[in-house]
Amino acid sequence: MASTATPSTLTLSSLLSQELNPNSLLFKPKPLLFTPHKSFSLHPLILQYKERKNGPVVAAAMAAEAEVEDAVEQEGEEGGEGVAAVAIPPSKPKKGKAALPLKRDRTRSKRFLEIQKLREIKKEYDLKTAIELLKQTASSKFVETAEAHFRLNIDPKYNDQQLRATVNLPKGTGQTVKVAVLTQGEKFDEAKNAGADIVGGEDLIEQIKGGFMEFDKLIATPDMMPKVASLGRILGPRGLMPNPKAGTVTTNIPQAIEEFKKGKVEYRADKTGIVHLPFGKANFSEEDLLINFIAAVKSVEANKPSGAKGVYWKSAHVCSSMGPSIRLNVREMLEYKLPNA
């Protein structure tokens, strides 16, 4: 038979005593009745009652403390004084790409919204039509650059899937290239005679360390590379560090200067496997842009990394500097033949 315990109230003084009286474990303002065979819960703490040989034992000290805190909060509300809110320190300002607005929050100019109506977003265009659209969308006040963007099926974190090379654009880049040469000895005069804009040795290295960057290409002879190594942190992020694969470390200084002046372009795959490559200016004729673009495609195909597996070309787009991207039909692009070829 289950016997009902006599109801009584629980006071703070009785809770603080070391020995708890089982008959005084009830809370105000509503008494709670319990039996040795029942358990009950009180939010936010759960009190469990268990029957033992020596009588019932209830761990209720923490529950009473929570009740006291609730009572203090109620008194504060009645007296017009609330609990002071904890001040949250301001978050640190974001930098770099994290500071850019999300794609859904970015706004486009009226000019861009108008010109993007000229092409269908998901449609794949043949190469000739795409070049025509590129010229139509280049409506800025300055002469825009024609850009190609190739997504390749490679992972550059592996050495055998990295891509870095150069391409000679037959019709040039449409811009003046300022070439600097790091050399010494008899090569010094040879570089000047070949048309280098800046020629120097250790003095030029010190100028670069001091912030001098008035050049577009930096060519160095092999004997200068141990000294150029100290410029890695300065030139590397800007893509100006001399490299044999890019043709900027060579003993044939006149040839290198001539190639870069005429339209030799260096390219590389970024960490996502995308190649970004300028192939002229928007004011070029369609034929000239086609010739340069095909030269770029052939160069990327010829320098396919040995570790690339499966389908090499995933997608290809062209665009002007300030215009929308135009998706290309990859198969038609690879099979395209120039009219005069």
Q: For the ranges 90-99, 243-252, 323-332, which has the lowest average pLDDT?
A: 90-99
Question: CA 306, 310, 314 angle in degrees (round to 5)?
Answer: 100
54 pLDDT tier (thresholds 50, 70, 90): very low
Cβ atoms of residues 253 and 270 within 8 Å = no
Pick from 254, 174, 185: nearest CA to 219: 254
Pick from 212, 338, 213, 231: nearest CA to 286: 338
Give the start-end residues of each E strand in 175-273: 179-182, 198-200, 217-220, 264-268
Look at residue 74 in the predicted model and tell me its pLDDT.
61
Give the Cβ contact number of residue 335 at 10 Å.
9
At 295, which amino acid appears? A
Look at residue 330 in the predicted model and tell me its pLDDT.
93
Each residue of 70-127: pLDDT tens digit?
A: 655 565 555 554 445 556 667 777 777 677 666 655 677 777 777 877 888 889 999 9
Each residue of 60-69: pLDDT tens digit?
A: 555 555 565 6
Look at residue 83 in the predicted model and tell me its pLDDT.
45
Contacts of 337 (CB under 8 A, 6+ apart): none
- Token pair of 270, please? 């970024």
* pLDDT at residue 29 greater than cutoff 70: no
Burial 264-276 (b: 16+ CB within 10 A, else e): bbbbbbeeebbbe
According to DSSP, the residues that pair with 275 across neighbouring strands are 150, 269
d(CA 142, CA 35): 88
Pick from 151, 150, 220: nearest CA to 181: 220
Question: Any idea which residue has 């590389």 for tokens?
Answer: 268
Look at residue 238 in the predicted model and tell me its pLDDT.
85
Tell me, rounded to whole angstroms, the distance of Cα 37 from its chain centroid. Answer: 62
Listed in sequence order, the DSSP H helices in 245-285 are 253-262
Each residue of 137-164: pLDDT tens digit?
A: 888 888 999 999 999 999 999 999 999 8
Cβ atoms of residues 22 and 56 within 8 Å = yes
Look at residue 55 in the predicted model and tell me its pLDDT.
43
Burial 109-120 (b: 16+ CB within 10 A, else e): eeeeeebeeebe
Question: Any idea which residue has 């009588």 for tokens?
Answer: 55
Look at residue 105 in the predicted model and tell me its pLDDT.
55
Mean pLDDT, the chain, rounded, equals 78
